[in-house]
Chain A
Amino acid sequence: MINFEYIRASSVKAAVEALAKNPTGGFIAGGTNLIDLMKRGVTAPTRLIDINNLPLKQVEETSAGLHIGALAINSEVSANDLVKNNYPLLSMAFAAGASAQLRNMATVGGNMMQKTRCSYFYDTAMPCNKRQPGSGCGALQGHNRMHAIFGASDKCIAVHPSDMCVALAALNATVTVSGPKGERKILFTDFHRLPGDKPELDNTLQKGEIITGVIIPKNTFNKNHYLKIRDRASYAFALISVAAALEVSGDTIKKASLAMGGVAHKPWRLTEAEKFLVGKTATKENFSKAADLAIKGAKGYGHNNFKLKMAPIAIVEALMIATGIA
């Protein structure tokens, strides 16, 4: 690992200022993705600003909904009674991510900031537009079994690996950020971006901004499930995951929110399927129709063609489990 200057920030303001003074630096929280990338020579910040002492660890219910600080630890949020009881989808997604050790280190803000990535991004001997803009994409014609089926471009077909983010996208969360120009809010679904012509950008944070937390609106979804399909039973990235949240009254679906992981450069909301489900009865037949709508426009790249078949099955399965039909 190439050495760097190390600074501890004592306030959000000090952290933002410390980064402004050294634009080739970066923040470090849990470090589980950043240190990994630094060891492999994929990234080499010249200054690391340790933000672990900032007062951003709260998990509390407010009038706006659930407020989670950017530095709340993944395992603690997952085990928090407020989260388990009132936002079960989020708790399930946390529990499905990484390993027990990594969940004890990873923060909520860091989870959002982990790179959208694939093995070509990690291999510095291979071309990768995300790591080195303009160098090409190794995955397009290469091994692309883990890769995107939605929203990819000819520059990048990597997927965002987070489980937490898929749940937050489905729960209509908002991200709060602070920066040189003050504070602002970003809709969670606008936080991560599609690769387009700039795959080096994973999200819409502006230069020098820091995530301070997320707010999830008061949860009215009474049927929730996070389904994760992976190569081994635990501690693996999703081949496909589905966050399903429904508000069902009697047999009728009043509200539907669906997002998928492992399929795109960002958590992928299934808006057409959601629209279809509202007002319908909760039956397998309706779930199947919704799933067919959801995968319209999906595209395989060879090795990942199996995802085209797996995606609708996973959507139906998640909805069946959420509603207790399965």
Chain B
Amino acid sequence: MDNNCKNEGRRDFLKKSTALAALAVASPALVKAGENDEKIAALFEKIPLNIEVNGKAFSLSVEPRTTLLDFIREQLHLFGTKKGCDYGQCGACTVHVDGERINSCLSLAVMNEGKKITTIEGLANGEELHPMQKAFIKHDGFQCGYCTPGQIMSAVACINEGHANSRDEVREFMSGNICRCGAYPNIVDAIMQTKKEGSTHD
């Protein structure tokens, strides 16, 4: 715990240093002379954020530029949600917001005020894995595993949306999740089985 706090402090320090450095090299159009003091003050103005993650309510402050992904990983220390490309192309960061799957790397944390977030850590019911998690294990729906949390979150939503009626439909509606190991056939197997057994919950 102590260690965590120390790390948090250091991370914050590093972030601020980086931000200041960025400000220093920002183009004149962005930072006009004489405005610097005001800009620096605004730079660190954190916004209060009330958010529910995996059934737990949090009231914290975040910098406006913090993405939902970075908030989940670096402030809540939930490292299950992965940062792959960080540009919305790979799907490794997929989480549910009010039950809908999104790329958490392209959403600002502050845009999720009052929302309910579910991450991969919130899927299991205590020690009992979610049926989709079990199916991924049974069908070997991964190799390196890096994309797996995003795949599973996306897969659960895919079924909840009613978009898993055939293998082709699954492939189309899972296209936002890239697996560089190429475990796609097994991922589709896992989703089809979970769909057949008809038990998903968020």
Chain A residues proximal to chain B, CB less than 8 Å = 1-6, 8, 24, 28, 31-32, 35-36, 38-40, 44, 46, 48, 50, 52, 75, 98-102, 104-105, 233-235
Quote the shortest CB–CB distance from A43 to chain B (angstroms).
Answer: 10
Instruction: Report B-chain residues with C-beta under 8 Å of the C-beta of A48.
Output: 64, 108
Apart from A3-B19, A99-B176, A105-B107, what are 20 other A-B pairs with CB-CB below 8 Å? A2-B19, A3-B42, A5-B45, A31-B108, A32-B88, A44-B26, A46-B39, A50-B111, A52-B111, A75-B100, A98-B176, A99-B91, A99-B175, A100-B173, A101-B88, A101-B103, A102-B176, A104-B100, A105-B102, A234-B175
Query: Which of A2, A6, A40, A234 is in CB contact (< 8 Å) with B171?
Result: A234
Instruction: Report B-chain residues with C-beta under 8 Å of the C-beta of A40.
Output: 87
CB proximity to A under 8 Å, residues B27-79: 29-30, 39, 42-45, 47, 63-65, 67
Give complex CA distance A266, B86 in Å: 28
Instruction: Report B-chain residues with C-beta under 8 Å of the C-beta of A101.
Output: 88, 91, 94, 101-103, 154, 176
Determine the residue in chain A with the shortest Cβ distance to B87: A36
Instruction: Report A-chain residues with C-beta under 8 Å of the C-beta of B43.
Output: 3
* Interface band, chain B: 35 or more
Give complex CA distance A5, B110 in Å: 11
Quote the shortest CB–CB distance from A10 to chain B (angstroms).
Answer: 13
A104 near B108: Cβ-Cβ < 8 Å: no
A1 near B65: Cβ-Cβ < 8 Å: yes
Most chain A CB within 10 A, of B86, B154, B176, is at B176
Instruction: Report A-chain residues with C-beta under 8 Å of the C-beta of B108.
Output: 6, 28, 31, 35, 48
* One of B126-134, B141-149, B156-164, B188-196 contacting the partner: B156-164
Instruction: Report B-chain residues with C-beta under 8 Å of the C-beta of A1.
Output: 65
Convert B103-136 into 0s and 1s, putting 1 for each residue whose CB lies closer than 8 angstroms to a CB of A: 1001110110100000000000000000000000
Quote the shortest CB–CB distance from A289 to chain B (angstroms).
Answer: 34
